[in-house]
């Protein structure tokens, strides 16, 4: 049976690259592009989360993005005093980035630990495809090292012995300043965190591969969303971590999911273990 244009449009309107949109008509334009050119949509994504405490997630970086089409926002993870790891789609069409580290509330005055740093340049994965969301990982190179403090510290990367691990059934922590409910159009003032379990890949492939193979089991991790807890608009590039012997370890980067934050659909993360060689080759980080 032929699938109508409206049915496809309705389905794809629920798929997003969790980056904050700058203009509402951009969403419709992107959806039209999907139908005409197989281009994926740029939307935005923590629902049901809790406020983080000062220095609870010292690796968190707030990325203020200045684009050709306006302003946007993403998250990132400090992995070295000169490198921020984020989603590649956060680095599309950027003119300038402002990186804030040690930030808890992004709209308050300068707190005790905040550091604002300008990047020297950025790098998207050489095989990143904005049409399919494959290899959705990128690096931000900073002009100067970020001084570490109790509220600013790098996150550990996974060891190579976990490269083939599925992490299924593990409970993760995902953070971000994204929208905390569908009705809210603005970002959360305060950094949020939510606990999400990793589920079987088929839960994501069932949802996101109906019309196109967005979810790649080799390079993505599937996290369970619920009607009460999930990621939402503005959380793109943020971290998914697990506890490894009492130390948080970065295993995922928020990539894409449902534009209906409270819809209960699963969330796709970039699988960090798949990119340890790329990170090592493009930075001073040993992994």
pLDDT, one tens digit per residue, over 241-257 is 999 988 999 999 999 87
On whether both 268 and 171 belong to a single domain, the answer is yes
- The 3-state DSSP class for residue 255 equals strand
Examine the residue annotation and report whether 201 is marked as an active-site residue of this protein.
no
Domain region containing 189: 160-274
- Among the listed residues 92, 136, 201, 216, the single catalytic one is 136
Q: How far is CA 39 from CA 33, 129, 132, 215, 243, in A?
A: 5, 10, 7, 15, 36
Which residue, among 261, 134, 137, has the nearest Cα to 196 in the 3D structure? Answer: 261
On whether both 168 and 104 belong to a single domain, the answer is no
Assess if residue 171 is contained within a domain.
yes
Assess if residue 72 is contained within a domain.
yes
On whether both 164 and 268 belong to a single domain, the answer is yes
On whether both 67 and 17 belong to a single domain, the answer is no
For the chain, give the mean pLDDT.
Answer: 80
On whether both 142 and 175 belong to a single domain, the answer is no
pLDDT digits (tens, 9 = 90+) for 150-166: 999 999 999 999 988 98
Assess if residue 287 is contained within a domain.
no
Give the domain CATH number at 206.
2.40.10.10
- Among the listed residues 18, 89, 255, 258, the single catalytic one is 89
Assess if residue 173 is contained within a domain.
yes
Q: Per-residue pLDDT averaged across 68-86, rounded? A: 95
On whether both 269 and 167 belong to a single domain, the answer is yes
* pTM of this structure: 0.81
Assess if residue 46 is contained within a domain.
no
DSSP state string for 88-101: GGGGTTEEEEEEEE
Number of domains in the chain: 3
pLDDT digits (tens, 9 = 90+) for 155-202: 999 999 998 898 999 999 999 886 544 334 456 788 999 899 999 999
Query: How far is Cα 208 from Cα 215, in angstroms, rounded to an integer?
Result: 6
Examine the residue annotation and report whether 126 is marked as an active-site residue of this protein.
no
Examine the residue annotation and report whether 236 is marked as an active-site residue of this protein.
yes
- Among the listed residues 77, 236, 258, 259, the single catalytic one is 236
State the pLDDT at residue 208. 84
């Amino acid at each position: 049976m032929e699938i109508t244009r409206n049915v496809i449009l309705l389905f794809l309107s629920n798929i997003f690259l969790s980056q904050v949109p700058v203009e509402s008509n951009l969403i419709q334009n992107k959806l039209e592009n999907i139908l005409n050119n197989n281009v994926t949509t740029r939307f935005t994504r923590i629902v049901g989360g809790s406020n983080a405490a000062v220095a609870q997630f010292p690796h968190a970086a707030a990325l203020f993005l200045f684009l050709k089409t306006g302003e946007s926002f993403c998250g990132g993870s400090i992995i070295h005093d000169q490198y921020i790891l984020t989603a590649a789609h956060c680095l599309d069409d950027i003119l300038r980035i402002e990186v804030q580290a040690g930030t808890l509330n992004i709209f308050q005055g300068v707190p005790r630990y905040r550091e604002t740093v300008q990047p020297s340049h950025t790098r998207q994965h050489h095989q990143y495809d904005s049409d399919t969301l494959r290899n959705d990982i990128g690096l931000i190179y900073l002009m100067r090292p970020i001084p570490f403090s109790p509220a600013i510290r790098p996150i550990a990367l996974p060891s190579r012995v976990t490269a083939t691990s599925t992490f299924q059934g593990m409970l993760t922590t995902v953070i971000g300043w994204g929208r905390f409910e569908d009705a809210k159009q603005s970002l959360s003032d305060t950094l949020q965190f939510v606990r999400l379990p990793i589920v079987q890949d088929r839960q994501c492939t069932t949802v996101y591969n109906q019309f196109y193979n967005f979810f790649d089991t080799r390079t993505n991790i599937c996290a369970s969303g619920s009607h009460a807890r999930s990621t939402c608009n503005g959380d793109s590039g943020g971290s998914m971590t697990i506890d490894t012997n009492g130390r948080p370890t970065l295993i995922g980067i928020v990539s894409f999911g449902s534009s209906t934050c409270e819809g209960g659909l699963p969330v796709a993360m970039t699988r960090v273990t798949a990119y340890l060689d790329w990170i090592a080759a493009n930075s001073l980080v040993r992994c």
